[in-house]
């Protein structure tokens, strides 16, 4: 007959504890970050424009200044550049040395290292020539022209959407060094400057835009950041007649202008044009 020996309960518990020790609880010392650990940076998307207005960006229009109202320094710079302007205008078959031309300054605070001028020759209806000129103030860069009209006709395609206009604007911005310390490029000022160089006299709609009831799509300027980075700037030019003009400028994360569109502001009853994929994925940023 087999007999079973009873073990004391304390001895049994000690034996089980030795075989299966209890789970270790994490102490405050265990939760500290190891000395060689590196924090994981928060993911940010590349965008050329900081949200909110830039330090110099308060106006919602580009000032056109007559030659008489320009500073003496700018008038001298224009006079010294006329031979180069005439040469480059000739490449576009614009006869700068013929007829009477006048010019006005385009005051663009977003690109302070350049002098922008708009030259016009008006020989009457059907014979108007217009082009913009960009002159670097510091001598670092090239004089460039942007044809707008030649004897009342657009060259190649309308200047606001022309690939040559976009390419020239990108070179001008690169020469202006928009990423240098203390020079935060303003998104609205940059967009207005592009529109002015392309021939418009842009005046962005205020927050309480008059005429919004007639033109539902007309709105205050806005900055949107797509999910993949870059920037989309929109504004409505209320100086355009007979209807306001909607502008959309799409920039890469490094600040290159990729695409520019402008179209008449929609009126009630018109079918809206669907946005592009980049515009659909954009995140709105408050304008102030």
Predicted confidence pLDDT, tens digits, the chain (288 residues): 444 444 455 544 555 555 555 555 555 445 565 666 666 555 677 888 877 666 556 678 899 999 999 999 999 999 999 999 999 999 988 889 888 999 999 999 889 999 999 999 998 887 899 999 999 998 889 999 999 988 778 766 789 999 999 999 999 999 998 866 666 678 999 999 999 999 999 998 765 555 555 565 667 788 999 989 999 999 999 888 888 899 999 999 999 999 999 998 875 444 545 555 555 555 545 443
Query: Could you count the other beta carbons within 10 Å of the beta carbon of residue 73?
Result: 10
The two three-digit tokens of residue 73, written as one number: 């320094």
pTM for this entry: 0.76
Per-residue CA distances from 103 to 26, 121, 138 (Å):
76, 9, 21
φ/ψ of 85, rounded to 5, equals: -65, -45
Q: Give dist(CA 127, CA 150) in Å, integer.
A: 8
Q: Give dist(CA 231, CA 252) in Å, integer.
A: 7
């Amino acid at each position: 007959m087999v007999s079973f020996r009873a073990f004391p309960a304390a001895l049994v518990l000690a034996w089980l504890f030795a075989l299966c020790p209890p789970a270790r609880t994490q102490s405050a010392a265990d939760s500290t970050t190891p000395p060689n650990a590196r924090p994981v940076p928060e993911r940010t998307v590349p965008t050329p424009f900081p949200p909110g207005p830039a330090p110099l960006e308060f106006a919602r229009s580009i000032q056109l200044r007559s030659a008489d109202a320009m500073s003496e320094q700018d008038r001298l710079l224009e006079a010294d550049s006329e031979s180069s302007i005439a040469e480059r205008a000739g490449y576009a078959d614009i006869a700068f040395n013929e007829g009477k031309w006048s010019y006005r300054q385009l005051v663009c605070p977003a690109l302070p290292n350049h002098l922008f001028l708009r030259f016009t020759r008006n020989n009457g209806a059907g014979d108007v020539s217009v082009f913009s000129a960009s002159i670097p103030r510091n001598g670092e860069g090239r004089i460039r022209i942007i044809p707008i009209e030649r004897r009342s006709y657009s060259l190649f395609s309308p200047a606001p959407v022309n690939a040559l206009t976009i390419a020239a604007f990108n070179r001008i911005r690169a020469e202006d060094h928009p990423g240098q310390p203390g020079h935060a490029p303003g998104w609205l000022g940059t967009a207005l400057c592009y529109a002015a160089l392309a021939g418009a006299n842009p005046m962005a709609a205020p927050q309480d835009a008059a005429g919004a009831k007639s033109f539902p799509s007309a709105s205050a300027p806005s900055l949107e950041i797509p999910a993949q980075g870059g920037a989309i700037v929109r504004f409505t030019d209320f100086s355009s007649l007979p209807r306001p003009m909607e502008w959309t400028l799409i920039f890469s994360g490094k600040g290159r202008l990729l695409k520019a569109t402008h179209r008449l502001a929609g009126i009630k009853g018109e079918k809206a044009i669907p946005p592009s994929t980049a515009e659909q994925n954009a995140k709105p940023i408050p304008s102030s």
